Amino acid sequence: MFRIRKWIWIVLAVIVMTSCSSEKFLSEGQHVLTSVDIVSAEKKTDAASYRSYIRQEPNARWFNLVKVPLGIYCMSGTDSTKRFNRFLKRLGEEPVIYDWQMTQTSKNQLALALQSRGYLHARVDDRVRFKGHKAKVSYHLHPGQQYRIRSIDYDIDDPVIDSILKMNESETLLTVDMPCDANVLDNERSRIINLLHRNGYYRALKKFIYYDIDSLAGPRKLALVLHYDGKRLSSDPEKDYTRYWIGKVTVDIVDDEATQGEFRDSIKYRGIKMRYKGPRTIRPNVVYSQLDIQRGAYYNEEAVRTTYNNFSRLKILRSSSIHFSDTEAGTLNCHITLHTDKLNQISAELEGTNTSGDLGVASSVSFTNRNLFHGSEVWTTKAKAAFEAITGLEGYNDQNFFEFSVESRLSFPRIIIPFMPEHRRVNMHGSSEITLQFNTQERPEFHRRVLTALWSYKWNGHHNRHQHKLDAIGLNYVFMPWISNTFRNEYLNNDNARFAIVRYTYENLFILNSAYNFIYNSAGGSTNAQSKRNATQFHVGIESAGNLLYLLSKGLDVKKDADGRYTLFDVAFAQYLKFDIDYARSIPMNKNNTLAMRAAMGLVLPYGNATMVPYEKRYFAGGANSVRGWSIRELGPGGYVGKDGKIDFINQTGNLKLLFNMEWRSYLFWKLTGALFVDAGNIWTTRNYEAQPGGLFKFDTFYKQIAASYGWGLRFNFDYFILRFDMAMKAVSPSYATKREHFPLIHPNLKRDFTFHFAVGLPF
């Protein structure tokens, strides 16, 4: 009852805030702009796409519904000397006063925007309605007929440039019968200049390109001529039409601690002059391998960008700069300056932990060397220790959990393939990484040792929109040196089918696997906020384990163990195939609101030497990044329910995952953003395990086992990281026993159905 009253008070407070009058802040004759609409007289024209041309918008609404910031502002008094009034005004948003001149500017901008898209006779009407101290504005678009290009001709004043354009004519943005869109025409000018900049024309300018459009060619049919007329428009045609090639290339490597003095170490490597101020920090072949700018080649702007990106991946470098100077011989001399960073770094962390109510502490220390072999190889070694006081365990003498791990990672800023000659690897840009990790866990029930080794590659595609990661070979060895008699008798030696997964999870295991992951992000490396808000991300991953060992064991006729499995050093090895796909899309609704969606599916199948997937490779549902109405590992598989309704972390896993999330994100104020969300999904098994009744995936019933939840959240965006608080309620629960309980959306129980999540970063 108390919670219901609290929510009633919150709703009433919002109503009071938003109902406060803004009239006290108005002068005589002023009106508050309450709404702005934009409509089109023709259905084929998307009026909403022209919204950005409106120069005056009303006060912001939370989730496009309630003007809470304005309400907070209006709660303040007019006396600005009072601190509380100033605080409310800073927290809120002052009323937007209707401005006739801004309306006329918006009207003209909308007309120009329509005309630039080929609606040459477009017009825009504005209507303003006043009621009391409020004003409502609407813009009515009358596009008319869209004009199209009938023919396209080119007038190029240089034969070499003309031949370059013809060789790349398949890339043109201009096509016959296209709308006469000024944006497309301008983008074509940019494309041509970028093409020339990639082919030696260092001084080519956009102003050299212009269009003639003949409207007399026919009704609503335009004849277009593209002119490249630099010899007339240029102030120095001789230089602007020079096709430059790269002459001398000089690279200065400046040590961060030796910025004063002269360059005392100078060498020449493959025609590139390298000068060192301070010690020879980076090997010449490493610097050369990052250069896309090559002596004797035509100037290429794309090569300059790639070289910047390559140098940015070298962790030993703090900054890089590239400058060109032209010569009378028609060449460009390139001067590159690289500033090195500090060689070593030591860091430490201390954190508190809470695992299902068991409190603990963890600390770690790490050491990083950014230039181990003088090739910007990054070597990081990290040691971590953790302690946790375990409660609620019966039959065990020691009630504490200790964990210690050591991880060593060596990253090379280039692709390293054994036995491949260096000259073949020069243009293969990416990174290679070796990881070794040892982890030891000592619990009251058992002691576990985990040894991990991995050799992997990473590389990026065009404009960093494509990312690739290849785990060439990975090794996981799990060893159980000690298991308590209580745990062994209760679980491992117990023939109850419920403990089948437990028995498999706590036995020695060997995994030899390979994996490939591809990620596409439409925003790429862009720092533009609008690009990030209107972004698409797609991830696909595939992983395989045990195939090579299985073929070798079968070919060598290795004997199987009592369970019919091949072993390596008396340890059974896992064999499975795993496939994951994840699609996320964010769509801006307006400057303060974004709709974000995510759909994901995963499937991992054991076969050959295994009938079960290793616990670390199985899926779980629930948690801050899944179906948020459930805590982590509380949901599934299917309609499975743990014994006595309790959470069963081992058995509440599966090898098939379906997930869907949708969020409406709305900027509130300061660094605070709100979100309304809906989640749906579950996990299943593809084999009928007795230990997981109700967990088997069936095409005719799985949709009845899809769980759903809804809720709202708050996010504090501190630029470098985001703190997230999500509050969720169950809507559909496949594990509740009765039909009435199956839909907690209709019959909610706050104590039973509410879940709170705290996390860092967005869920997707």
Token couple for 569: 């050093």
| pLDDT tens sequence across 683-716 | 999 988 888 888 999 999 899 999 999 999 999 9
How many whole angstroms separate alpha carbon 115 and alpha carbon 120? 5
Coil, helix or strand at residue 196: helix
How many whole angstroms separate alpha carbon 229 and alpha carbon 414? 44
Asked if 628 contacts 711 with a C-beta cutoff of 8 angstroms, the reply is: yes
Residue 53 CB contacts under 8 Å (≥ 6 apart), including other chains: 106, 109, 110, 113
In CATH, which of 3.10.20.310, 2.60.40.1930, 3.90.920.20, 3.40.50.10470 is domain 245-340? 3.10.20.310
How many whole angstroms separate alpha carbon 4 and alpha carbon 1? 5
| Dihedral over alpha carbons 233, 235, 238, 239 (to 10 degrees) | -110
- Beta-bridge partners for 32: 97, 134
**What ranges in 41-181 are assigned the alpha helix state H?**
68-74, 83-91, 100-116, 159-167
Token couple for 493: 């030696």
Q: What is the DSSP string of 437-457?
A: EEEEEE-SSEEEEEEEEEEEE
How many whole angstroms separate alpha carbon 546 and alpha carbon 573? 7
- Does 148-240 match 245-340 in CATH topology? yes
| Dihedral over alpha carbons 692, 698, 701, 705 (to 10 degrees) | 40
Token couple for 321: 């700069």
Q: For the chain, which residues make up each domain, given as ranges? A: 2-142, 148-240, 245-340, 358-399+411-431+485-508+547-760
Q: What is the DSSP string of 366-386?
A: EEEES-TTSS--EEEEEEEEE
Q: Whole-structure pTM over 0.75, yes or no?
A: yes
* 30 CA to centre of own chain: 45
Q: What percent of the chain has pLDDT over 70?
A: 90
Looking at domain 2-142, does it have CATH number 3.10.20.310? yes
pLDDT reported for residue 219: 60
* Nearest to 371, CA basis, from 336, 411, 321, 337: 411
Phi and psi angles of residue 525, each rounded to the nearest 5 degrees, phi first: -90, 15
Token couple for 65: 């519904």
pLDDT reported for residue 1: 43
Looking at domain 358-399+411-431+485-508+547-760, does it have CATH number 2.40.160? yes
Asked if 522 contacts 468 with a C-beta cutoff of 8 angstroms, the reply is: no
What angle is formed at CA 454 by the lines to CA 452 and CA 460, rounded to 5 degrees? 145
Regions of the chain short of the pLDDT cut 50: 1-2, 4-5, 7-9, 11-12, 15-17
* 564 CA to centre of own chain: 44
pLDDT reported for residue 12: 46
SS3 content of the chain, % helix, strand, coil (to 5): 25, 40, 35
What angle is formed at CA 518 by the lines to CA 515 and CA 520, rounded to 5 degrees? 165
pLDDT reported for residue 7: 46
Pairing of strands 221-228, 148-156: parallel
Asked if 57 contacts 36 with a C-beta cutoff of 8 angstroms, the reply is: yes
Asked if 326 contacts 202 with a C-beta cutoff of 8 angstroms, the reply is: yes
pLDDT reported for residue 8: 45
How many whole angstroms separate alpha carbon 143 and alpha carbon 120? 8
Residue 286 CB contacts under 8 Å (≥ 6 apart), including other chains: 314, 374, 375, 376, 413, 414
* Nearest to 706, CA basis, from 617, 612, 596, 599: 599
Asked if 99 contacts 128 with a C-beta cutoff of 8 angstroms, the reply is: no
How many whole angstroms separate alpha carbon 641 and alpha carbon 694? 8
pLDDT reported for residue 15: 47
Asked if 193 contacts 301 with a C-beta cutoff of 8 angstroms, the reply is: no
Coil, helix or strand at residue 421: coil
How many whole angstroms separate alpha carbon 533 and alpha carbon 522? 11
Looking at domain 148-240, does it have CATH number 3.30.1280.10? no
How many whole angstroms separate alpha carbon 130 and alpha carbon 137? 9
Map tokens 């869209």 to a residue.
Answer: 146
Report the length, in residues, of the chain.
764
